[in-house]
Structure 1
């Protein structure tokens, strides 16, 4: 399989998710960042930390990137949730090596 090259912020997001490290994940996001997932928007550090805990850490999500182009990461997500593994598209807004905006949708 070909190696997928990811921007530093995306690489950090995947690594921190797979390590189940809430502090490292929170550090990936810039001040005032937003996350859109499951029909809800999370804005700012406290809300994003809550989203990280509930959507990535608690279900022990492990991401396996399968493609990356135009700020869009497609990855298989597995963990302790029904129906897994599932493929997701993560569309990143990045500024100064930090995520400013993230939208997640099933693929």
Structure 2
């Protein structure tokens, strides 16, 4: 199996998600960041913390990367939610090793 090389910010996102570490996850996002997931947008620190808790921490999501190219990560996600594991595409916009925009969609 080929090893997947992730950027620093994406690696930090995966590591914090899989450790269920809300503080480390929030720290991955830069000032003024936004997340687009489930047809909604979360913008700013407070809303992103809400998204992190509700979408990654509470359901104990574990992500297993399957590919990464051009700031697009495809990963299998499993956790305490129906139908898992599911595959998701995470499209990152990164500046200074922090995520400033993240769009997530099922694949």
Tell me how far apart the structure 2 counterparts of residues 28 and 104 of structure 1 sit (CA, whole Å).
16
Which position in structure 2 is the counterpart of 1:105?
Answer: 105
1:48-98: CA deviations, max 9, x gaps? 000000000000000000000111000000000000000000000000000
Q: Offset at 1:26?
A: 0.1
After superposition, residues 1-107 of structure 1 pair within 5 angstroms as 1-107=1-107
Aligned residues: 107
Tell me how far apart the structure 1 counterparts of residues 2 and 72 of structure 2 sit (CA, whole Å).
17
Q: 5+ unaligned residues in a row in structure 1: which ranges?
A: none
Tell me how far apart the structure 1 counterparts of residues 30 and 37 of structure 2 sit (CA, whole Å).
17
Q: 5+ unaligned residues in a row in structure 2: which ranges?
A: none
TM-score (norm 2): 1.00
Tell me how far apart the structure 1 counterparts of residues 23 and 70 of structure 2 sit (CA, whole Å).
27
| Secondary structure of the structure 1 residue equivalent to 2:54 | helix
Tell me how far apart the structure 1 counterparts of residues 31 and 65 of structure 2 sit (CA, whole Å).
26
Q: CA RMSD in A?
A: 0.3
